[in-house]
Amino acid sequence: MTSYSLQQFINETKQDDKKADYFQLETERVLEVNLDGTVWAKMGAMISYKGDIKFERERMAEHGLGKMFKKAFTGEGTSLMKAIGKGELYLADQGKKVTIFDLQGDTLTVNGNDLLAFEPSVEWDIRFMRKMAGMMAGGLFNVHLQGPGKVAITTHFEPLTLIVKPGEPVMTDPNATVAWSGHLEPEFVMDVSMRTFIGRGSGESVQMKFEGEGFVIIQPFEETYATQDS
């Protein structure tokens, strides 16, 4: 007989008190940060915390004038907050699935909207995709990350990783593209035949082209971004 008791629900959904790592998945959609120091996270991602933790909004020149000017130019909302202290911090972003990477000298480029949190040891920079300007604002900038340190990203539903091989370019929809090997430099291309067939306003006519050797992470969901003003 199936039980629907409140105690059973609590037992099945309560937090895991075993502290395994600095970043750990509390559920597949909630990141737990066992904080003892500092962590950078997406503004607004905090859903709960325990302990002595304070939050600071990213200051304009916190990461240097170069990044400040880039963010001012893009007008994008990937603002960061800094959590400082000791305790358990829970982060989430609109119910999206959370994936953790431990970058040990690796590099990763992430769509700015899909970056959830990273350790302060991770070096980062904003990368422009100038060819995308005027097509769609959401693909204009991404965040380039280099370890060592842990990074947490989010995806709508289960991510799929596509392997890029020399001579075998991979084409993706920009709205479904989450992250890729840090050394890859995608190009934006226009599929004229598809644009003619589907219609001038279709996003599918704009594609990202990855060439070389590496990987691309996509999600089975197309995020909608505002159109860049002309």
pLDDT digits (tens, 9 = 90+) for 23-76: 999 999 999 999 999 999 999 999 999 999 999 986 654 555 445 444 544 444
Instruction: Encode 102-114 in three state secondary structure.
Output: EECCCEEEEEHHH
- How far lies 127's CA from each of 13, 27, 58, 66, in Å? 39, 31, 18, 11
Does 109 map to a domain? yes
Give the residue among 145, 153, 48 at the shortest CA–CA distance from 97: 153
Instruction: Tell me if 28 is assigned to some domain.
Output: yes
- Residue 50 located in a structural domain: yes
Domain that holds residue 151: 21-218
Asked whether the predicted pLDDT for residue 156 surpasses 80, the reply is: yes
> Residue 151 pLDDT more than 80?
yes
* Paired residues of 150 in beta bridges: 102
Tell me if 74 is assigned to some domain: yes
pLDDT of residue 228: 38
Residue whose tokens read 């990461």 = 63
pTM (global) more than 0.75: yes
Q: For the domain that residue 52 is a member of, what is the CATH number?
A: 3.60.160.10
Specify if 148 maps to a domain: yes
Per the structure, how many domains does the chain have? 1
Mean pLDDT across the chain: 82
Any domain includes 16? no
**Does 10 map to a domain?**
no
Is the pLDDT score of 19 beyond 90? no
The CA distances from residue 73 to 45, 68, 144, in Å, are 24, 9, 17
User: Rounded distance, CA 31 to CA 137, Å?
Assistant: 28
Tell me, yes or no, whether 36 lies in a domain: yes
pLDDT of residue 67: 56
**C-alpha span between 178 and 184 (Å, rounded):** 14
Which helix (H) or strand (E) segment holds residue 227: the answer is none
